[in-house]
Structure 1
Amino acid sequence: MRWWDIDPVLELEKALFPEDAWSRGMFWSELAHARGPEATRRYVVAVQGDRLVGYAGLAAGAGSDSGSGATTADVQTVAVARDQWGTGLGARLMAELLRAATSFDCAEIMLECRVDNVRAQKLYERFGFEAIGFRRGYYQPGNVDALVMRLSPAPESGPAAGAPSVNGVQGTEING
């Protein structure tokens, strides 16, 4: 994702998450940490023709809840245009994020998902994420709980090792 992708990303963001859409400033802030030798973020977009049809982002940071000091990644967002649901695009975006987590040497990957978003939960489970808890009232407005999920890859396998094989979605390009 680059700065020129922000406007189409915001359009899709507002269509998919109308009540809790990220702001332009939030995306700019994330992209500010996505370049250079000190980068801690990875954001990608999926483009079909000249239309943005999906995007995803990951943040890597030092330390984890376990106190081991290992780097933990957080999946910040995954979004796929409704007309692309069921095409495998969400899996391709997740695979890109898991590759990024590997490049950041992350020991585990965390994410939050709305408890009522079963489609997303199934996607994450296919990649080996396991539910580990809840965040009560995490999504506002509406006071909707978040399911907290974690992927702790085996050291020799890397984060994407258990990921499903994902073929390219016809005519869709993933750009980072």
Structure 2
Amino acid sequence: MTNYILINIAEICGVLVLYFAAAWSARRIVWQYNIIYRILNFLEDTSMLWMPLLLTGIFLWNTFRTLKKPLLYLDRIVEESGKLADPSRGTISLPQDLESVEYQMNMIRARALENRRRAEEAEQRKNDMVVYLAHDLKTPLTSVIGYLSLLDEETDLPEEQRRKFVSVALNKAYRLEDLINEF
């Protein structure tokens, strides 16, 4: 902001110095018959009109130029922020003036990609655990169903065989209960 004010003051002072130098020069030389004299005389006579317009124009031009740069930087930051969580796009690259912002955005991008990778790994571990759990639960359940089906279908089984099947089915049911209680 200080540079902006100093630039405006310097340019306004420059215009004023040029104006007064031209006015001083015009008075020192006899120019009455020259076209330049008439133009300078006209400019001096109308200086109260065009001088404020010129100074306002310089001020507005500097203001526009000064505000344009941060807005262009902001556009670039918004454009590059699309790369924050997308691993297929390259690293973030900003102009030299925004080097610290570029570094911070690349650090955020690295953390986001690392968090994404960890989340995918956790999801895969969860899916693997569900598959193993389903297998571990299905094995004793299949045994229980098999033995109970045999007991249901075979009515003429000897008592000792029947007790053995009931015992195996009961042990498998307890094993299934233990597996369920682990989670």
More helix by percentage: 2
Based on CA coordinates, which of the two structures has the bigger radius of gyration?
A: 2
More strand by percentage: 1
Higher relative contact order (CA 8 A, sep 6+): 1
